[in-house]
Amino acid sequence: MTVPSEARAAVLGRVRSALQRTTRLPAADIPRDYARSRPSPDVVELFCARVADYRATVQRVTGADLPAAIAESVRATGARSTATPGEVPQEWCQALQAEFAHVAGEPEAADLDRIDAVATAAAVGIATTGTIVLDHGADQGRRALTLVPDVHVCVVREAQIVDDVPAALARLDPARPTTFISGPSATSDIELKRVEGVHGPRTLHVLVAAD
């Protein structure tokens, strides 16, 4: 027997010996009581701070002030035309119609380039990452509606804000399309020059509404 063969036999012998001594638990006995969330002093405050870190504008409002806050957010950007998905509250549409050229209900794809701003609801807000999740329900619209206009005003209810990603995923339907938004659309080239508005809205206003 050559030396390399002897060494190989010795290694394999030790592997076999180790495997024989190992007691394996059946897969069903492996504990899977993973933590689904971590305690946080105030997920709403944390969410607002993290969203602001991404250069988005964040404002906390009451439910009664929400329509006026949506119109003010659009006004601050200089937008002239707006759109909302089909099933946002009528008060939102009325506040926008009073001041802007407004499309209530989703515009056709060919008309999206002529829309300056869109106002939508959200599905979930994630505090630790400052992320907004859309599942493109009737109050959020299809994905193109929130990607083509230059301004996105997004309303997140306080009750929709959770601590972390696992808690957010537990609230989402895996069969639905989802979009994760962490700040305005931005990218940078090899010289680290930041360019905003390349893949989506250049301006993101987040209104955190009290329940």
Give the pLDDT of residue 21.
65
Give the pLDDT of residue 23.
62
**Do 133 and 122 contact (CB within 8 A), yes or no?**
yes
Q: 152 — phi, psi (to 5°)?
A: -125, 115
Cα within 13 Å of Cα(26), Cβ side: 2
Give the pLDDT of residue 33.
72
Closest CA to 146 of 99, 175, 180: 180
List the pLDDT tens digit at each of the 211 positions of the chain.
455 788 888 898 888 887 776 566 566 666 767 666 566 568 999 999 999 999 899 999 999 999 999 999 999 999 999 999 989 999 999 999 999 999 988 888 888 889 999 999 999 999 999 999 999 999 999 999 999 999 999 999 999 999 999 999 999 999 999 999 998 876 766 777 766 666 778 899 999 999 7
Measured over the CA atoms of residue 42, residue 47, residue 52 and residue 58, the dihedral's sign is: negative
Give the pLDDT of residue 191.
72
pTM for this model (two decimals): 0.77
Domain definitions of the chain by residue range: 56-209
Give the whole-angstrom CA distance, residue 37 versus residue 75.
Answer: 38
Considering the domain delimited by 56-209, tell me its CATH architecture.
3-Layer(aba) Sandwich (3.40)
Give the whole-angstrom CA distance, residue 87 versus residue 140.
Answer: 8
Helices (H), 22-158: 43-53, 66-77, 90-97, 143-147
Give the pLDDT of residue 156.
98
Give the pLDDT of residue 108.
84
Q: Is 130 left (phi over 0), alpha (psi -120 to 50) or beta?
A: left
